Amino acid sequence: MEELQNQDASTARVMLLGLVDAVFDEHAAQVRQVEFIRDLCVVFSALDRTPPVLPGQERLIPCGADGTPLVAEHLATEIGPLLRMSIERAGMLIADSMNLIVRHPLLWAATRANRVTVWQATQIARNTAESRAQPASRRLG
Give a three-class secondary structure readout of 41-59: HHHCCCCCCCCCCCCCCCC
Report residue 106: phi and psi, to 5°. -70, -40
Residue 36 lies in a domain: yes
How many domains is the chain built from?
1
Cα 36 to Cα 32: distance, rounded to the nearest angstrom: 6
Residue 31 lies in a domain: yes
- DSSP 8-class letter at 60: E
For residue 93, the model assigns a pLDDT of: 96
Residue 85 lies in a domain: yes
Residue 61 lies in a domain: yes
Residue 141 lies in a domain: no
Residue 99 lies in a domain: yes
Parent domain of 94: 21-48+55-133
Select from 128, 135, 122 the least CA-distant residue to 94: 122
What is the number of other CB atoms lying within 10 angstroms of the CB of residue 60? 14
Residue 90 lies in a domain: yes
Beta bridge partners, 60, equal 72
Cα 49 to Cα 32: distance, rounded to the nearest angstrom: 31
State pLDDT tens for residues 25-41: 999 999 999 999 999 99
Asked if the model's pLDDT at residue 137 lies above 60, the reply is: no
Residue 14 lies in a domain: no
**Greatest C-alpha distance within the chain:** 83
State pLDDT tens for residues 63-118: 999 989 999 989 999 999 999 999 999 999 999 999 999 999 999 999 999 999 99
